[in-house]
Amino acid sequence: MTAVTLVVGAVLTIAGVIGYAVTGAESVTALIPSFVGLLMLIAGIIARNVNARRHAIHAALAIALLGALGSLRNVAAIGDVFDGTAERPAAIILSTLMFVVLIGYLVLGIRSFIQARRDRQGKSPA
């Protein structure tokens, strides 16, 4: 999960910077995916330490959950982008990208935790 955390952090950081540049640097809120991505990168770097891995990945998953929930309002307006009636289409597109990436990360993280628990139970004496 450490490598996945680093990749997700990098993708979000780059997406936020690109979104900020594409929108003409009008609003700092275009950098929200970058802020989430930087937090994910920090958690991924911390997770390289075996002793801190479990806590760092838990923190990254919490950040991912908060980020996904925070982007949900704009994601709900994705239909407006397709209709051409969106007031801020770049924000909606960036939020949707962030939501999809973070939900995918959460699914992978939960699957990883389930597998780790099964592995521990299989190794413990009955």
Backbone angles phi, psi at 74, to 5 degrees: -70, -35
Q: Is residue 65 part of a domain?
A: yes
Q: Is residue 38 part of a domain?
A: yes
Residue 124, pLDDT score: 57
Q: 40 or 22: whose pLDDT is higher?
A: 40
Distance CA 86, CA 56 (A): 37
pTM listed for this prediction: 0.85
Contact 12, 36 (CB under 8 A): yes
Q: Is residue 126 part of a domain?
A: no
Domain span at residue 75? 2-121
Residue 39, pLDDT score: 97
- Tell me the average pLDDT across 3-31: 90
Please state, rounded to an integer, the average pLDDT across all residues of the chain: 90
Between the CA of residue 103 and those of 16, 64, 69, what are the distances in Å? 17, 8, 10
Q: Is residue 24 part of a domain?
A: yes
Other residues' Cβ atoms within 10 Å of the Cβ of residue 25: 10
106: closest CA among 3, 8, 16, 36? 8
Q: Is residue 111 part of a domain?
A: yes
Q: Is residue 86 part of a domain?
A: yes
Distance CA 3, CA 89 (A): 31
Count up the domains in the chain and report the number. Answer: 1
Q: Is the predicted pLDDT of residue 6 greater than 80, yes or no?
A: yes
Contact 23, 2 (CB under 8 A): no
Q: Is residue 84 part of a domain?
A: yes
Residue 85, pLDDT score: 83
Q: Is residue 11 part of a domain?
A: yes
- Tell me the average pLDDT across 107-125: 84
